[in-house]
């Protein structure tokens, strides 16, 4: 539920024209948004009832709800949820650790493997990847801020820490055109088979789609010999690096969504630099908490005219260094790694994608399947911060 910065546009259904310029029908009036309320409940009916009650309570204070989006997380029996194109999503997450935590023996607690990221990357007021306390908003030291339980700010005398234990949330409403996605995968496979009938019997729409994402529909990483085996819980393994597993991107293409979104150590020019580049990549992690909206498309090859997509949500304490870096320097970088003139094949605009297929290099054209409908950046307050904001 979104109560009315800027940037939440009313939507139209026009795809972006090939030259990228918006048509008249695409130019929409942005809606001013001041806050987002996320209500989590056990089922849709309960969430609807709660949402109506919250909306009625807000109306008493002249707060207008400008956008409502029923969201679902429908995990399977392994706890894995799939996005609308059909792929397991929400799998790879950073593992936040507290750099100040100590073991019972009094020594610093060890970080937890390759996905370890300091807590301050996600919680304001804690040590981040730059060994600084992630900065956040402060408020004057008043009876109200003290009563709400806000801690005195460590550096700013006369102020209390409104940010401590809060975070920043990036929200993007991303509409997905599922039929266009699968049509494009089909066209790509047909084009390769027509060009190279002798060596391409294994290539179909599913083969291309897996390479666009970089994982199988079940979520297993693509490797030169097939798929990365499941972990000891039977779930897709996420504790991997690219340099030893697949340095050339023969399994998981260099430009695949997951390899761009988190290159891990793969941008290292040599094995000696692997740890340095892994550490550098871990300075740009985001904690994703997306949810689907809209009904599942019954027949993925035929559009039913209904609105569906992903409400992409992620937490980070430095939006420019984390979310924006991932989007700009990795996903939408036309010269990412060794590539030229192509962007993320899943979420980027229409264009080419390079797929290494053993000795061959395949190029397929992908269309635009994901459209940004609206979004903004928000401060996520801690409970004491929320109690203080209530007094204003």
Please choose, from the candidates 368, 335, 337, the residue with its C-alpha nearest in 3D space to the C-alpha of residue 351: 368
Contact between 216 and ligand HEM by CB under 6 A: the answer reads: no
Which residue among 153, 211, 215, 362 contacts ligand HEM (CB under 6 A)? 215
Q: Which is nearer to ligand HEM, 162 or 208 (CB)?
A: 208
Strand 116-118 relative to strand 95-97, pairing: parallel
Shortest Cβ 250–ligand HEM spacing (Å): 18
What is the signed CA dihedral for 169, 170, 173, 174, rounded to 10 degrees?
Answer: -130
For ligand HEM, which stretch binds (CB under 6 A), given 20-28, 59-67, 102-110, 319-327?
A: 319-327
Q: Are 122 and 315 in contact (CB under 8 A)?
A: yes
Contact between 374 and ligand HEM by CB under 6 A: the answer reads: no
Q: Which is nearer to ligand HEM, 3 or 370 (CB)?
A: 370
b/e 10-48 (16+ beta carbons within 10 angstroms → b):
ebeeeeeeeeeeeeeebeeeebebeebebeeeeeeeebe
Contact between 286 and ligand HEM by CB under 6 A: the answer reads: yes
For ligand HEM, which stretch binds (CB under 6 A), given 14-22, 34-42, 48-56, 80-88?
A: 80-88
Q: Which is nearer to ligand HEM, 125 or 348 (CB)?
A: 348
Helices (H), 196-234: 205-213
Q: Which is nearer to ligand HEM, 211 or 257 (CB)?
A: 257
Q: Which is nearer to ligand HEM, 117 or 174 (CB)?
A: 174
Contact between 327 and ligand HEM by CB under 6 A: the answer reads: yes
Tokens 């309320």 appear where?
37
Q: State phi, psi for 367 to the nearest 5 degrees.
A: -95, -175
- Rounded Cα distance between 191 and 171, Å, is 36
Shortest Cβ 3–ligand HEM spacing (Å): 24
Residue count, binding to ligand HEM (CB under 6 A)? 28
Tokens 């690219």 appear where?
242
Q: Are 67 and 2 in contact (CB under 8 A)?
A: yes
Of the CA atoms within 13 Å of residue 287, those in its CB half-sphere come to 19
Q: Are 223 and 242 in contact (CB under 8 A)?
A: no
Contact between 213 and ligand HEM by CB under 6 A: the answer reads: yes
Q: Are 297 and 84 in contact (CB under 8 A)?
A: yes
Q: Are 68 and 1 in contact (CB under 8 A)?
A: yes
* Binding letters toward ligand HEM, positions 152-191, x by CB under 6 A: --------------------x-x-x---------------
Q: Which is nearer to ligand HEM, 181 or 388 (CB)?
A: 181
Q: Kindly report the length of the chain.
A: 392
Q: What would you report as the CA-atom Rg of the chain, rounded to the nearest whole angstrom? A: 23
Q: In whole angstroms, how far apart are CA 16 and each of 24, 239, 294, 322, 367?
A: 11, 37, 21, 27, 10
For ligand HEM, which stretch binds (CB under 6 A), given 8-16, 83-91, 99-107, 293-301?
A: 83-91
- Rounded Cα distance between 313 and 54, Å, is 21
Contact between 3 and ligand HEM by CB under 6 A: the answer reads: no
Q: Are 368 and 301 in contact (CB under 8 A)?
A: no
Q: Which is nearer to ligand HEM, 348 or 384 (CB)?
A: 348
For ligand HEM, which stretch binds (CB under 6 A), given 14-22, 37-45, 53-61, 324-332?
A: 324-332
Q: Are 216 and 346 in contact (CB under 8 A)?
A: no
**Per CB under 6 A, which of residues 86..145 are in contact with ligand HEM?**
87-92
Contact between 258 and ligand HEM by CB under 6 A: the answer reads: yes
Q: Which is nearer to ligand HEM, 66 or 241 (CB)?
A: 241
Which residue among 119, 164, 315, 326 contacts ligand HEM (CB under 6 A)? 326
Shortest Cβ 375–ligand HEM spacing (Å): 10
Contact between 368 and ligand HEM by CB under 6 A: the answer reads: no
Residues that bind ligand HEM (CB under 6 A): 83, 85, 87-92, 172, 174, 176, 213, 215, 219, 257-258, 261-262, 286, 310, 312, 323, 326-327, 331, 346-347, 370
């Amino acid at each position: 539920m979104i109560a009315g910065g800027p940037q939440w546009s009313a939507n139209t259904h026009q795809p972006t024209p090939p030259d990228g310029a918006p048509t008249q029908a695409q130019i929409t009036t942005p809606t001013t948004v001041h806050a987002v309320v996320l209500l989590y409940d056990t089922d849709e009916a309960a969430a609807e009832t709660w949402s109506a009650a919250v909306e009625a309570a807000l109306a008493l204070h002249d707060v207008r709800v400008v956008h409502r989006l029923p969201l679902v997380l429908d995990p399977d029996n392994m706890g894995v949820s799939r996005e609308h194109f059909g792929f397991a999503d929400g799998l790879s997450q950073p593992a936040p650790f507290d750099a100040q935590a100590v073991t019972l023996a009094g020594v610093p607690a060890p970080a937890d493997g390759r996905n370890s990221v300091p807590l301050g990357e996600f919680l304001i007021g804690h040590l981040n990847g730059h060994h600084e306390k992630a900065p956040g908003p402060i408020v004057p030291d008043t009876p109200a801020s003290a009563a709400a339980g806000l801690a005195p700010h460590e550096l700013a005398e006369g102020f209390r820490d409104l940010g401590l234990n809060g975070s920043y949330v990036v929200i993007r409403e991303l509409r997905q055109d599922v039929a266009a996605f699968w049509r494009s995968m089909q066209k790509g496979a047909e084009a390769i088979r027509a060009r190279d009938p002798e060596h391409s019997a294994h290539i179909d729409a599913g083969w291309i789609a897996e390479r666009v994402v970089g994982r199988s529909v079940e979520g297993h990483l693509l490797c030169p010999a097939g798929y990365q085996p499941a972990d000891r819980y039977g779930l897709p393994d996420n504790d991997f690096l690219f340099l030893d597993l697949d340095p050339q991107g023969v399994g998981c293409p260099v430009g695949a969504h997951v390899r761009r979104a988190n290159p891990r150590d793969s941008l290292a020019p040599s094995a000696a630099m692997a740890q340095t580049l892994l550490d550098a990549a871990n300075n740009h992690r985001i904690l994703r908490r997306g949810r689907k909206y809209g009904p599942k498309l019954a027949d993925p090859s035929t559009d039913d005219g209904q609105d569906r997509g992903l409400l992409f949500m992620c937490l980070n304490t430095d939006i420019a260094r984390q979310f924006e870096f991932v989007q700009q320097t990795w996903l939408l970088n036309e010269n990412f790694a060794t590539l030229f003139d192509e962007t993320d094949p899943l979420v980027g605009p229409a264009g080419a994608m390079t797929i290494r297929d053993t000795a061959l290099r395949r190029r397929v054209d992908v269309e635009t399947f994901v459209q940004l409908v609206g979004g903004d950046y928000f401060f996520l307050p801690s409970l004491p911060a929320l109690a203080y904001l209530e007094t204003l």
